[in-house]
Amino acid sequence: MKATPLLGWYRALAVATGCALLVFCGFMVAKYGFGAAEEITTYVAMLHGYLYIGYFVVTFLLGQKLKWPLGRLVFTLAAGCIPFASFVAERRVVREAAEQAPAGAVQQTAGV
């Protein structure tokens, strides 16, 4: 795989979406479990939603570029809505992209 800026965008959005989802889950527990933070939960949900839209688009484009099978693409797309799954998917995608790429191409693209 040639170096692509999509991988860097994917990594950033996967981490941001995963963090926003975990924060959102915490606010949902506070809202429904303790009756607190009802108004801010809406804004955190919107933040996660906007981040997930970006994650979805970038992941879909990356999957098309890397010619992922449909099952892999669906799991990676769904990972943005399952707590901790986006972190696991991000590590797996980066590791596999590094195996396919020439030496140094992924590190340069991913900003590492």
Residue 72 has pLDDT above 60, yes or no: yes
Residue 111 has pLDDT above 80, yes or no: no
- Structure token digits, residue 89: 């998917």
Residue 2 has pLDDT above 60, yes or no: no
Residue 56 has pLDDT above 70, yes or no: yes
Q: Which of 22, 29, 71 is nearest to 51 (CA)?
A: 22
Output the DSSP codes for 80-111. GGSTTHHHHHHHHHHHHHHHHSPTTHHHHHHT
pLDDT digits (tens, 9 = 90+) for 16-43: 999 999 999 999 999 999 999 889 999 9
> Which pTM value belongs to this model?
0.84
Q: Which of 102, 101, 76, 100 is nearest to 90 (CA)?
A: 76
Of residues 70 and 4, the one with the higher pLDDT is 70
